[in-house]
A and B are shown apart, each in its own frame.
Chain A
Amino acid sequence: MPDTATDVAAARQQGDTARRASSIGLKGIRKEYPGGVVALESVDLQIGAGEFFTLLGPSGCGKTTLLRILAGLDEPSAGSLTIGGVAVTETPPHKRSVNTVFQSYALFPHLSVRDNIAFGLKMRGVAGAERDTRVKRIADFIQLGELVERRVDQLSGGQRQRIALARALVCEPDVLLLDEPLSALDAGLRRKLQVELLRTQQRLGMTFVFVTHDQEEAMVMSDRIAVLNDGVIQQIGTPQQVYERPVNLFVARFMGHDNIFAVSARHERRITTPIGELTGERPCHGAHVLIRPETIELSAPESEGVEPGKPLNRLFCRVEERFYRGNNVEYRLALEEGGTGATLIAEISNCGERLFRVGDRVRAEIYPEDVVALGDEGSTS
């Protein structure tokens, strides 16, 4: 008989070194359901080891299908998938070192919290003593220590969410998949668990693939975001890139932007829009431009302006409406000349300067680099 204590120690050590993050490679992944519904058109994606990667999009965009393909719960109609450099396209879910936190948590209500968490280890044949230590470790880690003997149906939504997370984490997978794990929780708890989840990922250094339809959540959590629509990746980038430089109309709208204008004519860097002629930083090819409300500077028309020397777009407007939000103030502006009745929205952070009133004349100044050209949908950055 081998000495169990040293065995456990050795196994634990091995477990720690085995806790490695894996990269993910998707190539030409396509998913067509019977009946001809195409959930994913040819998706190509590289997710780095240890990355917090988010799939963002509206419901029905294919993000959950993509996650299910990673988990092995759905098989792609075409394409190949590698996890940690190993091809796993046809590997069944119980043979992948990937675990999932389900949207509905999908806990086993007839089992105790402990047995729920231990389930994956048991299925992998981890011995009883080691199983207990690992369950205890993860329960403490996720602050569930005192609840392990309870039945799942005696717990609150936030606690269930944590158990679902613990149940997946305890298996120390190469990749953790999270399918809108916070969507069933109220706003306060949600924000708290977002931070917890992010810290967990940073401490473990595990690769997380996170699905959400909430762009704010995506920006807070992610290293990189892939925005999906109609089964096509619209843009992949850091939260900053996706928010500040959306590549097309869909991404701009989905990230919650106002001030999107159709381009009616273009000549190199000069474009014509419903709010007048604007100069961009580079020649514009898109059919639309975005001017983020918070990039617009407002000043009194008789003043000198922000930076008198710089080549700015200057638009003279009248304040039509004002919405005071405390931390910022939103103005809806009507163009005085050169516009075609379009409204420009400016968001000015409230740092104690004088507020404009409805009816005031103002000068709106837009830097050329803040005129973001939006391409056609489906074009990837």
Chain B
Amino acid sequence: MSSADPVWRRRRHRETRHLLLSVLPGALWIFVFLVLPSLYLMSVAFMTNGGYGQPQLPLTLDAFRNLAGFGFLGWSPGNLYTLLRSLWQALLSLALVILVAYPIAWYIALCRAPLRPLMLLAVVVPSWTNQVIRAFGWMNLLAPGTPLSELAVRVGLVAPNLGLFPSSFAVTLGLVYNFLPFMVLPLYAAFEKLDHARIEAARDLYAGPLRAFFVAVLPQTLAGLLAGSVLVAIPAFGMYVIPELLGGGRSQMLGNLVAQQFGQAANWPLGAAGALLMLLATLVGLVILRRLGRRLGGDDMVI
């Protein structure tokens, strides 16, 4: 049947119309509540900060200069440190999440079939509680004087009278804890489809356990690993609640900086510039991960 056939063409037109109609409400929603506010936020980044914290004209690049650390008193590295700390925290917690989640996902996939949903549930259930409440839970567990902190003092990890909270250690711990399910689930999906014959083939071809892992297991789970990395690293990079509560002001991350500008500091253009930076950094991160995935030869990449 050729596409010039009038009946065929009419049918295709009808299908296209149906498709447009069904997509329209969602598209409108996204446009009004995501695209427009984002455009507004971007424009704010190029405005001048008014006397009462209101963004106003004329358009300048002051906010970006501010973000880069240039203020009334000359250059200070505070914001740069915040950016680097955000990056470091995101990458560190990503690495730790992978270390913890990989064996968990593998183990669950090896369990008997009826057990697997239960174990996955056990991984996911904690995240049904509000993030803030869970952060408070960690505060109580890690505060000075609690058994964990006492133990850390005894071992000599922290100075006497100090606790494990507040600290950047507590922030990392909070991030790892918070994002674990986002890594376990995509990894589990990859492990569930694992072709065990490839492991056996590697063993049969004289590969020891470690080589067999790298040639037969890792490539098969790469797609899940990268999907999980995106789900963990990007929100971790912009995280606000956990550093705010567990960092005790000493471990500020980019998200806190942005929040501050929209709140106490009343400098919306600076906050918007920070948000824009975050967006750009995220895009760069995605591109890098995508390249990495292609390079390592995963064929069904999610990102």
For the complex formed, measure the closest distance between the CB of B212 and the CB atoms of chain A, giving whole angstroms. Answer: 8
Q: Are B198 and A93 in contact, CB atoms less than 8 angstroms apart?
A: no
Residues of B near A168 (CB, < 8 A) are 204-205
Could you tell me how many residues of chain A have their Cβ less than 8 Å away from some Cβ of chain B?
27
B15 at the interface (CB under 8 A from A): no
Residues of B near A100 (CB, < 8 A) are 200-201, 204
Given contacts A104-B195, A110-B219, A110-B296, contact A119 B200 (CB under 8 A): no
B297: nearest chain-A partner, CB-CB:
A110
A5 at the interface (CB under 8 A from B): no
Q: Are B206 and A73 in contact, CB atoms less than 8 angstroms apart?
A: no
B207: nearest chain-A partner, CB-CB:
A123
From A73, A104, A107, contact of B204 by CB (8 A): A73
Instruction: Kindly state the separation between the CA atoms of A124 and B206 in the bound complex, as whole angstroms.
Output: 7
Majority secondary structure, B binding face: helix
Q: Are B203 and A93 in contact, CB atoms less than 8 angstroms apart?
A: yes
A68: nearest chain-B partner, CB-CB:
B200
Q: Are A106 and B296 in contact, CB atoms less than 8 angstroms apart?
A: no
Given contacts A73-B200, A110-B219, A110-B296, contact A123 B206 (CB under 8 A): yes
Q: Are B206 and A171 in contact, CB atoms less than 8 angstroms apart?
A: yes
For the complex formed, measure the closest distance between the CB of B207 and the CB atoms of chain A, giving whole angstroms. Answer: 5
B265 at the interface (CB under 8 A from A): no
For the complex formed, measure the closest distance between the CB of B90 and the CB atoms of chain A, giving whole angstroms. Answer: 28
Residues of B near A106 (CB, < 8 A) are 195, 197-198, 200-201
Given contacts A109-B299, A110-B297, A167-B205, contact A102 B200 (CB under 8 A): yes
Instruction: Kindly state the separation between the CA atoms of A63 and B215 in the bound complex, as whole angstroms.
Output: 28
Q: Are A171 and B299 in contact, CB atoms less than 8 angstroms apart?
A: no
Q: Are A94 and B215 in contact, CB atoms less than 8 angstroms apart?
A: no
Q: Are B195 and A94 in contact, CB atoms less than 8 angstroms apart?
A: no
A89 at the interface (CB under 8 A from B): no
Interface string of A143-179 (1 = CB under 8 A from B): 0000000000100000000000001100100000000
B216 at the interface (CB under 8 A from A): yes
Q: Are A94 and B219 in contact, CB atoms less than 8 angstroms apart?
A: no
Q: Are A73 and B203 in contact, CB atoms less than 8 angstroms apart?
A: yes
Q: Are A94 and B198 in contact, CB atoms less than 8 angstroms apart?
A: no
Q: Are B219 and A108 in contact, CB atoms less than 8 angstroms apart?
A: yes
Instruction: Kindly state the separation between the CA atoms of A93 and B204 in the bound complex, as whole angstroms.
Output: 5
Q: Identify the interface centre among B200, B298, B299: most chain A CB within 10 Å of its CB.
A: B200
B208 at the interface (CB under 8 A from A): yes
B211 at the interface (CB under 8 A from A): yes
Instruction: Kindly state the separation between the CA atoms of A71 and B199 in the bound complex, as whole angstroms.
Output: 13
Interface string of B285-303 (1 = CB under 8 A from A): 0000000000011110000
Residues of A near B211 (CB, < 8 A) are 123
Instruction: Kindly state the separation between the CA atoms of A73 and B205 in the bound complex, as whole angstroms.
Output: 12
Instruction: Kindly state the separation between the CA atoms of A73 and B198 in the bound complex, as whole angstroms.
Output: 12
Q: Identify the interface centre among A106, A120, A171: most chain B CB within 10 Å of its CB.
A: A106
**Can you name 6 extra interface pairs (CB under 8 A) apart from A73-B200, A106-B198?**
A71-B200, A94-B207, A106-B200, A108-B202, A109-B299, A120-B205
Would you give 19 A-B contacts (Cβ < 8 Å), ordered by A? A71-B200, A72-B203, A73-B203, A92-B203, A93-B204, A94-B204, A94-B207, A94-B208, A94-B212, A100-B200, A104-B197, A106-B200, A106-B201, A108-B198, A108-B216, A109-B299, A110-B296, A110-B297, A168-B205
7 residue pairs, one from A and one from B, having the closest CB atoms? A110-B297, A120-B205, A106-B201, A106-B197, A123-B206, A93-B203, A94-B206
